[in-house]
């Protein structure tokens, strides 16, 4: 599809990216000096720590809390874990059992020489990355052997609360044509400062994100995919207070797409910005190495702010998110930047404005598998009008070359989608995508018309906002409510207690290994054009 439909000024796009890059540099300098309890728990999990105590508290939490309570987490939990492991026979499972029973404190063991700690840590980190690399290789082999679906990929959700019932619904959706199955998390899981353990059957509005649940759904989708001759992608959510831990679980269990956006957590879940930006940076390194596409949450801005007046905030946030992602090693091909079809359907020529913005996003992020979200805010429960709104959304999606199309449901605002609701949504999308597959290639737009003017206006306003954010800093801009009309401060929100300033001898072998594999420098700066680079896992 030609990429110059909206006749945007290249100079303005470049300037907007440069402003976003400066914003990302400032954030990166701040977060690189810090770690969090979630980052440290993630390291332990990747080094093999698993299991829970008698009350269901994960062993990773127990170990990190032991170190945090003694005020030593700023050196990194790894050194204490390695010392304990080296002096208890080297069996990770046995050490986990001792900690779970309360028979071991990882701070109670003799100090080892620094060189030995780092050598052992480096060895364990290499083994962890090898496990992730094997899953990436398996995904790539499956995509080479099976059909991966045509863009826009059809994305639908399952949300029963019971992982085994989710499997039934996921199989049905795959058989009906879905390319991506997203398992919605149980309400409130993003605010839990631990990851539930094992297979779960009781969730509210969704199913708990656990490593065992990931394993169960991955196996089910692999099985149905083989019978269909298609690789079915699995999506879940590494957002909230356990962002990097869930990213690690997703990497180990071969998830393909994960929601990953600190700004979403700050604005809509009131998670402390220091905490979640540090967590995001590490989680995105894991996603980058695993070949997982991230989805960002800018589409949610338009559920609290007006979709016409605030469209520029979505673009500005996308540009900032892109630059932050580059600094964690993610290439453009793994950036499912979010935007949405959320204008009031009563607006005259609203379709033209939505189409213009979708084309604008496609042209500014030409290599990104953009995630396009359906109407939700103005769905009324009138299923017939809702089906028409979704049809217009699908038409814009295929005509503007979106990457991931999260399908709308005509029963939005009534109940969680039933199997037949998804079937109708998938049938309608396939019908529209097939009949308009190359519509975008056939169209040129009036240089003096409403659509070109709208795209230029949004870019101009986004550039002005980025200049303002760069001058005051992202933290202050968020405090002033520049995004989604929601205000948060540097010291407010959940999870601040879990942030620590790194000491000089801080050691995180997983971060070191990931930075080396992803070819990240010490400052993470200078990655404005990481468009097509990837990593050979």
Q: Given this model, what pLDDT does residue 32 score? A: 96
Please report which residue ranges of 54-183 form alpha helices under DSSP H. Answer: 59-69, 78-86, 92-101, 114-145, 163-175
What is d(CA 113, CA 74) in angstroms, rounded to the nearest whole number?
18
Token readout for 416 is 């969680």
Residue 529 confidence (pLDDT) above 50: no
What is d(CA 47, CA 129) in angstroms, rounded to the nearest whole number?
10
Long-range contacts of 114-119 (CB under 8 A, 24+ apart): 114/505, 116/86, 117/78, 117/79, 117/82, 117/83, 117/507, 118/507, 118/509
Is residue 519 annotated as a catalytic residue, yes or no?
no
Is residue 371 annotated as a catalytic residue, yes or no?
yes
Task: Render 402-448 in DSSP notation, one character per residue.
Answer: -SEEE---TTTTTSSPPHHHHHHHHHHHHHHHHHTTTHHHH----TT
Question: If we measure between CA atoms, which residue out of 220, 277, 282 comes closest to residue 254?
Answer: 220
What would the pLDDT profile of 465-491 be if each residue is shown by its tens digit? 999 999 999 999 999 999 988 999 999
Contact between 369 and 332 under an 8 Å Cβ cutoff? The reply is no
Kindly list the distances between the CA atom of residue 187 and the CA atoms of 55, 168, 209, 309, 431, in Å, as whole numbers in the listed order. Answer: 21, 21, 11, 30, 33
Contact between 231 and 180 under an 8 Å Cβ cutoff? The reply is no
Average pLDDT over residues 162-188: 96
What is d(CA 362, CA 300) in angstroms, rounded to the nearest whole number?
19
Q: Given this model, what pLDDT does residue 502 score? A: 98
What would the pLDDT profile of 446-469 be if each residue is shown by its tens digit? 999 999 999 999 999 999 999 999
Q: Catalytic: which of 208, 231, 256, 371?
A: 371
Q: Three-state DSSP class for 156?
A: strand
Kindly list the distances between the CA atom of residue 521 and the CA atoms of 143, 516, 527, in Å, as whole numbers in the listed order. Answer: 31, 8, 10
Is residue 301 annotated as a catalytic residue, yes or no?
no
Residue 252 confidence (pLDDT) above 60: yes
Q: Catalytic: which of 261, 299, 390, 524?
A: 299
Residue 1 confidence (pLDDT) above 50: no
Band of the pLDDT at 200, cuts 50, 70, 90?
Answer: very high
Q: Catalytic: which of 155, 237, 264, 301?
A: 264
- Is the pTM higher than 0.75? yes
Residue 525 confidence (pLDDT) above 80: no
pLDDT-wise least confident of 25-29, 65-69, 93-97, 302-306: 302-306
The set of residues, in sequence order, having a beta carbon less than 8 Å from that of 247 and lying 6+ positions away, is 42, 238, 258, 260, 282, 283, 284, 286, 287, 292
Task: Render 115-134 in DSSP notation, one character per residue.
Answer: HHHHHHHHHHHHHHHHHHHH
């Amino acid at each position: 599809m030609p990429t110059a439909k909206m006749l945007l000024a290249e100079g303005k796009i470049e300037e907007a990216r440069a402003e976003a890059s400066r914003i990302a540099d400032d954030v990166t300098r701040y977060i690189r000096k810090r770690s969090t309890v979630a980052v440290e728990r993630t390291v332990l999990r990747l080094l093999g720590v698993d299991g829970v105590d008698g009350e269901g508290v994960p062993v990773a939490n127990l170990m990190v809390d032991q170190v945090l309570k003694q005020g030593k987490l700023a050196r990194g939990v790894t050194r204490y874990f390695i010392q304990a492991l080296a002096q208890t026979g080297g069996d990770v499972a046995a050490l986990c059992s001792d900690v779970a029973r309360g028979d071991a404190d990882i701070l109670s063991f003799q100090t080892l020489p620094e060189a030995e700690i780092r050598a052992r840590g480096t060895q364990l980190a290499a083994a962890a990355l090898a496990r992730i690399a094997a899953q990436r290789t398996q995904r790539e082999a499956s995509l080479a052997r099976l059909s991966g679906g045509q863009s826009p990929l059809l994305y639908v959700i399952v949300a029963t609360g019971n992982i085994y019932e989710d499997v039934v619904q996921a199989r049905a959706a795959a058989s009906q044509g879905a390319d991506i199955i997203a398992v919605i998390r149980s309400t409130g899981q993003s605010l839990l400062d631990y990851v539930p353990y094992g297979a779960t059957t009781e969730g509210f509005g969704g199913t708990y994100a656990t490593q065992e649940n990931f394993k169960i759904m991955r196996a089910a989708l692999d099985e149905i995919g083989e019978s269909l001759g298609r690789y079915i992608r699995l999506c879940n959510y590494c957002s909230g207070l356990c962002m990097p831990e869930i990213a690690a679980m997703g990497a180990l269990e071969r998830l393909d797409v994960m929601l990953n956006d600190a700004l979403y957590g700050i604005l809509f879940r009131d998670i402390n910005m220091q905490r979640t930006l540090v967590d995001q940076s590490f989680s995105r390194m894991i996603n980058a190495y695993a070949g997982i596409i991230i989805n960002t949450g800018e589409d949610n801005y338009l559920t609290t702010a007006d979709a016409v007046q605030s469209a520029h905030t979505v673009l500005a946030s996308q540009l900032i998110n892109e630059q932050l992602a580059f600094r964690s090693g993610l290439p453009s091909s793994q950036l499912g930047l979010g935007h949405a079809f959320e204008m009031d359907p009563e607006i005259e020529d609203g379709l033209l404005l939505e189409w213009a913005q979708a084309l604008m996003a496609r042209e500014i992020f030409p290599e990104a598998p953009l995630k396009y979200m359906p109407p939700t805010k103005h769905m009324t429960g009138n299923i017939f009008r809702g089906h028409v709104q979704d049809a217009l959304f699908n038409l814009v999606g295929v005509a503007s070359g979106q990457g991931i199309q999260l399908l709308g449901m005509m029963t939005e605002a009534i109940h969680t989608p039933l199997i037949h609701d998804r079937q109708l949504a998938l049938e309608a999308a396939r019908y529209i995508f097939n009949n308009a597959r190359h519509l975008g290639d056939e169209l040129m737009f009036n240089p003096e018309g409403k659509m070109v003017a709208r795209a230029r206006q949004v870019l101009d306003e986004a550039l002005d906002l980025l200049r303002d954010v760069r001058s005051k800093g992202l933290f202050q801009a968020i405090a002033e409510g520049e995004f989604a009309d929601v205000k948060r401060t540097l010291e407010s929100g959940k999870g601040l207690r879990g942030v620590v300033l790194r000491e000089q001898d801080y050691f995180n072998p997983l971060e070191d290994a990931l930075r080396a594999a992803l070819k990240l420098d010490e400052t993470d700066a200078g990655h404005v054009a990481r468009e097509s680079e990837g990593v050979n896992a």
